[in-house]
Amino acid sequence: MTITRFSFPTPIHFGAGARRLVAQHLQGAGCKRALIVTDRALGALPVLAEFRSHLGELDVAVFDGVFGNPTCSQVMAGAAAFKAHRADSVIGFGGGAALDVAKVVGVMAVHEGDVLEYVWDHPQVRPIVNDLPYFVALPTTSGTGSEVGRSSVVSEDDTHVKRVVFSPKILARAVFADPELTLALPPAITAATGIDALTHNVESYLSPAYHPLCDGIALEGTRIAARSLVAAVTEPGNLAARSDMMMASMMGAIAFQKDLGAVHSCAHALGAACDLHHGLANALMIDTVLAWNYEAVPEKFDELAHACALAGGGAAFVPWLRELKSRIGIVGGLAAHGVTHAHLPRLVELATADICHQTNPRPCTAADFERLFRAAM
Return d(Cα 281, Cα 272) in angstroms, integer: 11
pLDDT tens figures, 16-45 = 999 999 999 999 999 999 999 999 999 889
Does residue 342 carry a pLDDT above 90? yes
Q: What is the dihedral of CA 297, 302, 304, 306, to 10 degrees?
A: -170
Higher pLDDT, 305 or 258: 305
Average pLDDT over residues 3-10: 69
One domain, residues 261 and 342:
yes
Same domain, 164 and 201: no
* Cα–Cα nearest to 194, from 75, 80, 325: 325
- Domain limit, last residue, from 128, 157, 182: 182
Structural domain ending residue among the three candidates 182, 213, 235: 182
232 lies in the same domain as 170: no
Q: Among the listed ranges 1-5, 212-216, 267-271, which one has the minimum average pLDDT value?
A: 1-5
Answer whether residue 7 shows pLDDT above 70.
no
Q: How confident is the model at residue 6 (pLDDT cuts 50, 70, 90)?
A: low
Residue 69, pLDDT score: 82
Domain final position from 135, 152, 182? 182
The residues facing 39 across adjacent strands are 66
Asked whether residue 200 falls in the same domain as residue 87, the answer is no
Q: Within this chain, do residues 255 and 301 fall inside the same structural domain, yes or no?
A: yes
> What letter represents residue 44's amino acid?
A
Residues 192 and 337 in one domain: yes
pLDDT per position as a tens digit, 344-368? 999 999 999 999 999 999 999 999 9
Residue burial 84-111, b: 16+ Cβ < 10 Å; e: rest = ebebbbbbbbbbbbbbbbbbbbbbbbeb
**161 & 208 share domain:** no
Same domain, 99 and 157: yes
Q: How many domains does the chain have?
A: 2
In this structure, what CATH number is given to the domain that contains residue 306?
1.20.1090.10
Given a cut of 60, is residue 74 above it in pLDDT? yes
pLDDT at position 75 is 96
In Å, what is the CA distance from 208 to each residue of 192, 198, 353?
Answer: 26, 18, 19
pLDDT the model gives residue 118: 92
- Tell me the pLDDT band of 258, cut-offs 50, 70 and 90: confident
Q: Is the pLDDT of residue 4 over 70?
A: no
Count of beta carbons in the 10 Å neighbourhood of residue 212: 8
Distance between CA 109 and CA 111 in Å, rounded? 6
- Whether 372 and 242 share a structural domain: yes
Give yes or no: residues 85 and 122 share one domain.
yes
- Measured in whole angstroms, the distance separating CA 97 from the mean position of its chain's CA atoms is 8
| 68 & 204 share domain | no
Residues 17, 59, single domain; the answer is yes
120-128: average pLDDT: 87
User: Can you give the residue range of the structural domain that contains 57?
Assistant: 4-182
CA 271 vs CA 89, 113, 168, 225: distances in Å: 30, 26, 26, 24
- Whole-prediction pTM: 0.93
**3-state SS record for the chain:** CCCEEEECCCEEEECCCHHHHHHHHHHHCCCCEEEEEEEHHHHCCHHHHHHHCCCCCCEEEEEEEECCCCEHHHHHHHHHHHHHHCCCEEEEEECHHHHHHHHHHHHHHCCCCCHHHHCCCCCCCCCCCCCCCEEEEEECCCCCCHHHCCEEEEECCCCCCEEEEECHHHCCCEEEECHHHHCCCCHHHHHHHHHHHHHHHHHHHHCCCCCHHHHHHHHHHHHHHHHHHHHHHHCCCCHHHHHHHHHHHHHHHHHHHHCCCHHHHHHHHHHHHHCCCHHHHHHHHHHHHHHHHHHHCHHHHHHHHHHCCCCCHHHHHHHHHHHHHHHCCCCCCHHHHCCCHHHHHHHHHHHHHCCHHHHCCCCCCHHHHHHHHHHHC
290-337 pLDDT, tens per residue? 999 999 999 999 999 999 999 999 999 999 999 999 999 999 999 999
- What CATH code is carried by the domain that includes residue 44? 3.40.50.1970
